[in-house]
């Protein structure tokens, strides 16, 4: 089910949400002078804008183009509630042609989040964007997924990457220390990349783990992502799955046969739906869609998912 209209009608692009003490908090790409606009809700439908969750970025960044934040609560320690980590994208001070990923921390969900001075991820293949945290309830490990921004070093065309040779834009999985959420454990592992049907790129990953209803006693990992260029009607939301563990045995996740949301979905109300974040157990989801047919204003929408085995539906 998708709501009949946007739940945040103003610009609230690349939304992410978290539920804390039965309240819902959402975060978005920078807008109106705020690095990370934040909103709260009691029901995921009516939202109140709260202000800037992270007034200052890390020293590694210029402070420009703060995109696609995602907040996770770390596991509790010593019977105390876990603290919060925000992952975000911004322009690198060391190379202003690249976006990279940073991390910020807070003892409370409303912040202010204090950004770490060190960069979290910055791929040599074009930089890194669109981070999303994930706690694996199966083994207690903590991860971050993000996109290697290969199209930033593409050769032109749609989103700078539909002129040969096409540059890869893989989704990477990075394990982190569950005690702090930002200390790296090992190196990143690719779990998905673009294909011909994805146009110039894939991006905006969101990872969950749910019981596999078609194989009781087992679990399926579902990676939601967007494909095609955000500027235009081809942008969509899709997903891929693994039944062979979080790394799928070293192979890319298996993509669904059709996107989850496209322009024209929800009885024609959606244009360029993308940037989806899915909550734990795959019940609630938020995403943006353009107001009208341009990406000047990207409104936040809310939906509920149905998952059967490796198949997801939202409409």
pLDDT digits (tens, 9 = 90+) for 119-148: 999 999 999 999 999 999 999 999 999 999
Contact (Cβ atoms closer than 8 angstroms) between residue 106 and residue 88: no
Query: What's the pLDDT score for residue 216?
Result: 95
* Alpha-carbon distance values, 143 to 135, 201, 278 (Å): 6, 22, 15
Which residue, among 146, 164, 142, 145, has the nearest Cα to 155 in the 3D structure? 164
Give the angle subtended at the CA of 151 by the CAs of 146 and 155, to the nearest 5°. Answer: 165
Handedness of CA 98, 99, 101, 103 (dihedral sign): positive
Give the residues of the chain that fall short of pLDDT 50.
none
Structure tokens, 47: 């939202």
Q: Edge to edge, what strands does the sheet with 184-192 contain?
A: 128-135, 142-148, 171-176, 184-192
pTM: 0.98
Q: Which helix (H) or strand (E) holds 265?
A: helix 265-268
Query: What's the pLDDT score for residue 77?
Result: 79
Exposure string over 113-139, b if 16+ CB within 10 A, otherwise e: bebbeebbbbbeebbbbbbbbbbbeee
Residue 112, preceding peptide bond in cis (omega within 30° of 0): yes
SS (H, E, C) 1-16: CECCCCCECCCCCCCE
Query: What's the pLDDT score for residue 98?
Result: 97
What tens digit of pLDDT does each residue of 35-65 get?
Answer: 999 999 999 999 999 999 999 999 999 999 9
Query: What's the pLDDT score for residue 81?
Result: 84
| SS3 of the chain: helix, strand, coil, percent, to 5 | 5, 45, 50
Query: What's the pLDDT score for residue 78?
Result: 75
What tens digit of pLDDT does each residue of 97-115 get?
Answer: 999 999 999 999 999 999 9
Structure tokens, 293: 């047919």
Query: What's the pLDDT score for residue 79?
Result: 74
Contact (Cβ atoms closer than 8 angstroms) between residue 209 and residue 161: no
d(Cα 154, Cα 285) in Å, to the nearest integer? 31
d(Cα 18, Cα 246) in Å, to the nearest integer? 22
């Amino acid at each position: 089910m998708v709501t009949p209209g946007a739940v945040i009608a103003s610009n609230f692009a690349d939304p992410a949400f978290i539920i804390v003490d039965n309240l819902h908090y959402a975060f978005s790409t920078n807008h109106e002078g705020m690095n990370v606009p934040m909103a709260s809700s009691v029901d995921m439908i009516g939202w109140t804008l709260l202000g800037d969750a992270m007034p200052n970025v890390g020293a590694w960044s210029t402070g420009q183009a703060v995109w696609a934040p995602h907040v996770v609560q770390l596991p509790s320690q010593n019977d105390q509630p876990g603290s919060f980590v925000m992952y975000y994208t911004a322009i690198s001070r060391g190379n202003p042609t690249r976006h990279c990923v940073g991390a910020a921390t807070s003892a409370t969900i409303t912040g202010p989040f204090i950004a770490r001075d060190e960069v979290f991820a910055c791929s040599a293949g074009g930089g890194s964007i669109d981070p999303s945290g994930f706690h694996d309830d199966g083994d207690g490990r903590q991860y971050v997924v993000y996109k290697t921004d290969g199209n930033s070093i593409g050769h032109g065309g749609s989103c700078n990457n539909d002129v040969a040779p096409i540059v890869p834009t893989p989704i990477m999985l990075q394990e982190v220390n569950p005690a702090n959420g930002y200390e790296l454990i090992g190196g990143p592992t690719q779990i998905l990349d673009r294909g011909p049907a994805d146009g110039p790129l894939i991006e905006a990953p969101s990872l969950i783990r749910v019981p596999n209803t078609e194989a009781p006693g087992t679990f399926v990992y579902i990676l939601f992502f967007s494909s095609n260029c955000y500027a235009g009607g081809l942008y969509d939301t899709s997903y891929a799955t693994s039944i062979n563990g979080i790394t799928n045995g070293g192979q890319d996740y298996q993509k669904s046969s059709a996107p989850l949301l496209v322009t024209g979905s929800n009885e024609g109300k959606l244009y360029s739906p993308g940037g989806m974040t899915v909550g734990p157990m795959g019940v609630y989801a938020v995403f943006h869609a353009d107001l009208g047919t341009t990406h000047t204003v990207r409104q936040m929408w809310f939906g509920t998912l149905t998952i059967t085995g490796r198949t997801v539906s939202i409409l």
